[in-house]
A and B are shown apart, each in its own frame.
Chain A
Amino acid sequence: MLRRGAPMPIKSYLAYPVSGRLDELAAALRRLPGCEVIPAVNRDLLVLVTDSPDEAAEAALGLELAEVPALQALALVAGLGDAAIDPAPPISSARHSSGGRS
């Protein structure tokens, strides 16, 4: 669950590329600030971990992500704030609560 207003947010997503454009997506995401990319070996899917210094940077990153042409869909899995250790919610609820940013 996304905690609005959490300082120094760290988030992880599952990122789906437009069909056949996995490498392009991975390259594009790596260029964005505070983004770490872990592509799957045997599927067109990658894990994106974002790390923003504050809420403003997080919002700006969100807009940039929306602009990436090779990005088909983004599913939020976990959101952690540095202020308190909030463990990620259980996986099943994370899936249900994953927002889509298309």
Chain B
Amino acid sequence: MTRRDLLKSMAAAAAVSAAEAAFPGIVFPAQDKAAPAGGGPPAPALPNDPNLAWKKTPCRFCGVGCGLLVGISNGRAVAVKGDPASPVNRGLACVKGYHSVMALYGKDRLTRAMVRKDGKLVPVPMKEALDLVASKMAETIKSHGKDAVAMYGSGQWTIPDGYVASKFMKGAIGTNNLEGNARLCMASAVTGFMTSFGLDEPMGCYEDIDHADVFVLWGNNMAEMHPVLFSRLLERRLKNPDVKIIDLATRWTRTSMAADRSILFKPQTDLAIANAICHEIIRNDWVHAGFVRDHVSFHEGKTNIGYGLEDKFTFKDEPKTVGFERYRELLGDYTVEKVEALSGVPARELRYLASLYGDPKKKVMSLWCMGFNQHTRGTWINNLVYNIHLLVGKIATPGNSPFSLTGQPSACGTVREVGTLTQRLPHGDVTEEKARKLAAEIWGVPVERIAPKPTYHTVEMFRAVDRGDIRFLWIQVTNPMVTMPKLRRYRDGLKKDDRFIVVSDVYPTPTTDVADVILPAACWIEREGMFGNSERRTQHWDRLLPPPGEAMSDTWQIIEVARRMGFEKLFPWPEATHIPEIWKEYTRFQAGPEHEMAPYDELRRRPGVIWPFVNGKETKWRYNGQYDPAAKGAFDFYGKPDRRAWIWFRPYEAPPEVPDAQYPFWLNTGRVLEHWHTGSLTRRIPVLHQAVPAAYVELHPTDAQRLGIANGQRVRLTSRRGALVLPAQIDGRARPPEGQVFVPFFDEALLINELTLDAFCPISGQPDYKKCAVKVERA
């Protein structure tokens, strides 16, 4: 282009802009100058680049794990398509996925390392920052012991990220101070699996959707949170009008609008409802007697188990094996009439739900996510939904599927399967000698180095930082300064003197605001990696783009620091091949028909592979002899010593804080479709930001009228822990029932977690973000 051409196009652009300002919506065809959504420069036409390549990757966002094709042209991501070859989404994505690559191009992207000197963050060369991290970590270990350093990672970590973190913390340094934010997202699902089945992760897969006749959504707004999977449900119903979608929730959402029926219950009473359904099933003799006799055993545990509100809270369950009769007796309190009074769900509705589960001609898929997991009795409610399916024998066959949906793209693949939790190793628990021996052998470290006792789960870990028992914390790919419940305490804790905080991230966030060192991270397709989604599908992507500036993948950051601390022998791999080498080493932990992972080349070739991957075949339904090579007989729950699935009797227990005279409303928190978690990625995507620019508080119209609040007016929410002023939203995206409010947590300027409570499930350690008490007034 000559200079004159450049000037002419500048002049033309000026005229076009003037026209657009004077006549909004005007369109000029020549240079495709339509004003794109959200403002900003006009979207270029797809470049006439003969090298434009469409490359596969799993989506960066939720736990559905859609396959995407990203258009790469001249070193930039320019477009996105759903991958038609992916069995997960079959070419469809959602608004976040379609615009996901725009998250890489925010103007305030972190490209340089920063170190806090005299209270101010100054840029330094990456090498210097990594030296500082390593030396500070070594120094802290020397002066305060190896349990004074900790690492907090993420369900958005890739599998190699998590693997090197585990090897580093547990194999090299020898501490169990390793946690991931999936503790706040999926921990109760994990302990639910472990107590009911002895092994983690669903026994079915997404293909169950194509076979089920009834979908019961328990406390999850699937239309917004797992939108592409919900579209699969809608498609199934469109083709088979007898299929029913039941929305069982604490508030009315988009999902309620699409469902065949929407049933509201009072918060926490899901425990009672599940028991009432089991009671009905037994009362009507809908129990699948043969299945129960051959494949189920009955157990009860402790009750009145507390809420973890005190530091160093510990809990150990005392399981007792009981029989069916004892179980039936314990269920005696859960008649539909009694549960109607407790939950607000009419007895007839409870009977209706039970009849759906009890009907031998109907295949039922139950789906749940945060409503069950972010729950002070999260482990229990996970057990209870399995109880329903086990009583009627509707499990581990196509269409009959209690399916625990995962929130994050790799909470399964990384945090749960690699085991980046205080009590886990890549295979087995730290408390199991066999597991420690295996880790020691594969890692090449002395077995004594691997600590046999878990230290802290996430909430306790941040409490330990606050108390000073932990002095060094390295945070990667997560934003705890927005997401920790009872946020003030933990933010103040991290800001204390003599706490060294290292944060690896892609954008400045409230967490980088408290960092002593910021390490710029390569984001998603800027480095090679793998994620593992809700249905046990591991998906690989190549490095598609160069990371900006000095940004470096989390995997490589950990390797660089580990080498500086003298652990080169444990992290010997050259950068060019480190990912396949890490995969090879990691998969040794999972060998065997119960968890075999696909080889690297297979992962590269295919749109993901479900594990177990045995003799070239995916095990789609585990524990079922027909589909699972590890199962002997028709059904074989080989995770448990008695090779049976365990039904646990779990009672209803109230939450620790309920509305009262002073704080008369329930506060519920969650997400919206357009924003991912704390919004650090999605708010920098103009389309998504423009769709939902700021947080708000949802109010029932009757409550609003009583309080004199109109739509959009400012409302003050106050809890025992903090207060916040937000605009009201009445009958917009969703409606809570009377006496309840809902606030999305994506907005870092409206930190709703300052009001929430850090009570957690004593078995899993996962906090409850859905229930605490607030006062609502006009501001």
Q: Tell me which residues across on chain B come within 8 A of A75, comparing CB atoms.
A: 18
CB of B14 within 8 Å of the partner chain: yes
Give chain B nearest CB distance to A8 CB in angstroms: 8
Min CB gap B33→A, angstroms: 9
**Total contacts A to B, CB within 8 angstroms?**
86
Q: B11, B17, B22, B27: which contacts A11 (Cβ < 8 A)?
A: B11
**B11, A88: Cβ atoms under 8 Å?**
yes
Bound complex: CA A39 to CA B33 (Å): 12
Question: Is B10's CB under 8 angstroms from A78's CB?
Answer: yes
Q: Indicate if the CB atoms of A91 and B27 lie closer than 8 Å.
A: no
- Count chain A CB atoms within 10 A of each CB in B4, B28, B30 and give the residue with the most: B28
Question: Which A residues are CB-close (under 8 A) to B309?
Answer: none
- Cβ–Cβ < 8 Å partners of B41 in chain A: none
Task: For chain A, residues 1 to 47, give those with C-beta under 8 angstroms from any C-beta of chain B.
Answer: 8, 10-14, 36, 38-43, 45, 47
Known: A12-B12, A82-B4. Is A91-B17 also a contact (CB below 8 A)?
yes
Chain B contacts for A13, CB-based, 8 A: 15
Chain A contacts of B8 at CB under 8 A? 10, 36, 49, 51
Q: Is A70's CB within 8 Å of the partner chain B?
A: no
* List of B residues within 8 angstroms of A101 by Cβ: none
Q: Is the pair A47, B12 in contact by a Cβ cutoff of 8 Å?
A: yes
B616 at the interface (CB under 8 A from A): no
* Per-residue contact bits, chain A 51-86, to B (CB 8 Å; 1 contact, 0 not): 100000000000000000000000101111010010
Chain A residues with CB below 8 A from B4, complex form: 8, 10, 51, 82
A26 to chain B, nearest CB (A): 12
A91 and B25 form a contact (CB under 8 A): no
Q: Is B14's CB under 8 angstroms from A38's CB?
A: no
Nearest CB in chain B: distance from A93 CB, A: 11
* Complex Cα gap A82–B11 (Å): 12
**Neighbouring B residues of A43 by C-beta, 8 Å:** 23, 26
B14 engages A45 (CB within 8 Å): no
A100 on the B face (CB < 8 A): no
Q: Are B23 and A49 in contact, with the CB atoms below 8 A? A: no
Q: Decide: B21 and A38 in contact? CB cutoff 8 A.
A: no
Residues of B within 8 Å of A40, CB to CB, are 19, 23, 26-28
Determine if B14 and A94 form an interchain contact, defined as CB atoms under 8 angstroms apart. Answer: yes
Give Cα distance in the complex from A80 to B27, angstroms.
24
Residue of A nearest to B16 (CB): A47
Chain B min CB distance to A5 (Å): 17
Q: A88 contacts which chain B residues (CB < 8 A)? A: 10-11, 14
Chain B 19-60, CB within 8 Å of chain A: the 1/0 string?
Answer: 101110111111000000000000000000000000000000
Assembled-state Cα–Cα distance A10/B12 (Å) = 10
The distance from the CB of B412 to the nearest CB of chain A, in whole angstroms, is 48
- Please name all residues of chain A whose beta carbon is closer than 8 Å to the beta carbon of B733 when the two chains form the complex: none
- The CB with the most chain A CB atoms within 10 A, among B3, B14, B16, B21, is that of B14
* Interface size grouping (class) on chain B: 20 to 34
Chain A residues near B23 (CB-CB < 8 A): 40, 43, 45
A47/B7 contact (C-beta < 8 A), A42-B25, A94-B14 known: no
Let me know if B3 and A82 touch, CB within 8 A.
Answer: yes
Q: Are A47 and B3 in contact (CB under 8 A)?
A: no
In the bound complex, residues from chain A placing their C-beta under 8 Å from that of B3 are 82
Known A10-B4, A51-B8, A80-B7; judge A91-B26 contact (CB<8 A): no
Contact among A36, A45, A79, A91 with B21 in the assembled complex (CB-CB below 8 Å): A91
User: Closest approach, in angstroms, between the C-beta of B1 and any C-beta of chain A?
Assistant: 14
In the complex, A2 Cα to B510 Cα: how many Å? 48
Q: Say yes or no: B18 contacts A38, CB within 8 Å.
A: no
**Chain B residues, CB < 8 A from A82:** 3-4, 7
Contact A41:B10 (CB < 8 A) given known A77-B15, A91-B21: no
Contacts of A87 in B (CB 8 A): 10
Query: B29 contacts which of A10, A36, A41 (Cβ < 8 Å)?
Result: A41
Q: For residue B3, which residue of chain A has the nearest CB?
A: A82
Select which of B16, B22, B29, B30 is within 8 A of A95 by beta carbon: B22
Complex Cα spacing A82 to B7, Å: 8
Question: Using a CB–CB distance below 8 Å, which chain B residues touch chain A?
Answer: 3-4, 7-8, 10-12, 14-19, 21-23, 25-30
Can you list 28 A-B pairs, Cβ within 8 angstroms, ordered by A? A10-B7, A14-B15, A14-B19, A36-B8, A36-B12, A38-B28, A38-B30, A40-B19, A40-B28, A41-B29, A43-B26, A45-B19, A45-B23, A49-B11, A49-B15, A51-B8, A78-B14, A78-B15, A80-B7, A82-B4, A88-B11, A88-B14, A91-B14, A91-B17, A91-B18, A91-B21, A94-B14, A94-B18
Known: A45-B26, A95-B21. 17 other contacts (CB 8 A): A14-B22, A38-B12, A38-B16, A40-B27, A41-B29, A42-B25, A47-B19, A48-B15, A49-B8, A77-B14, A78-B15, A80-B7, A82-B3, A82-B4, A94-B14, A95-B22, A98-B18
